[in-house]
Amino acid sequence: MSKIRVWIFRGLVGIAAGLMITSWLLPWWSCTIAQIGFSPVAQIYPYGLWLNMEEIGGYLDYLKGAEMPAFFAPLIWAYLGLCIALLLSSLFVKEKTFNLGKFRFSLPKVLIGGVGLSYIIVAVLAVIIAAIRTGAYFQTPLQGQFTINIGDPFVSSAFTSLEFGYWLACGVGPLLIVLALLRNKIIGKARLNS
């Protein structure tokens, strides 16, 4: 019975890791401009900014330079790789415990909870950075409808929104923390910090 519970827990962590990767591959923010069409002209992913230059052409010259620095994409992809490696290793590492004050933690719980906490921090930082950058380059709110000048004298409605990928990321971090906290109950082990 306990081996089945361990595999159920591993499956739950695997599902959370899959959701993390899915959230990573989906856009977290997008901007559409009615005059140009209702497909996104700009999207922010966790690893960088995508601009549909064929659609916006020379209309929005001030967007040039809005991309993240060159080191950002490799760094953030390395972060994702490290998170997935830590989640996978948490499933097979030995049950080592350590003390932090009066609390005792197991290594697998710390790995899973640590990844969850770091992903919450990434989601919070992403929305802060996106708000700053969209204000600086797009002169737009992070979410909502506004008018935009797309070349003299053209004015159009534009729409920005946080996308499903972002909201999924906001759920994955807490899910991992909950899995870490409930690990012993799911696999059927006694509490460590009693």
Instruction: Give the lowest-confidence range in 31-45, 52-66, 95-109.
Output: 52-66
Per-residue exposure over 14-31, b if at least 16 CB sit within 10 Å of its own CB, e if not = eebbebbeebbebbbbbb
CB–CB of 32/143 below 8 Å?
Answer: no
- What's residue 193's pLDDT? 42
CB–CB of 20/83 below 8 Å?
Answer: yes
Residue 11: pLDDT above 60? yes
CATH for 2-187 is: 1.20.140
Per-residue confidence band for 36, with pLDDT thresholds at 50, 70 and 90: low
Check whether the bond before 153 is cis (ω within 30° of 0): yes
Per-residue confidence band for 122, with pLDDT thresholds at 50, 70 and 90: very high
Instruction: Mark out the alpha helices in the chain (DSSP H runs).
Output: 2-25, 53-56, 72-90, 107-133, 164-187
Residue 32: pLDDT above 90? no
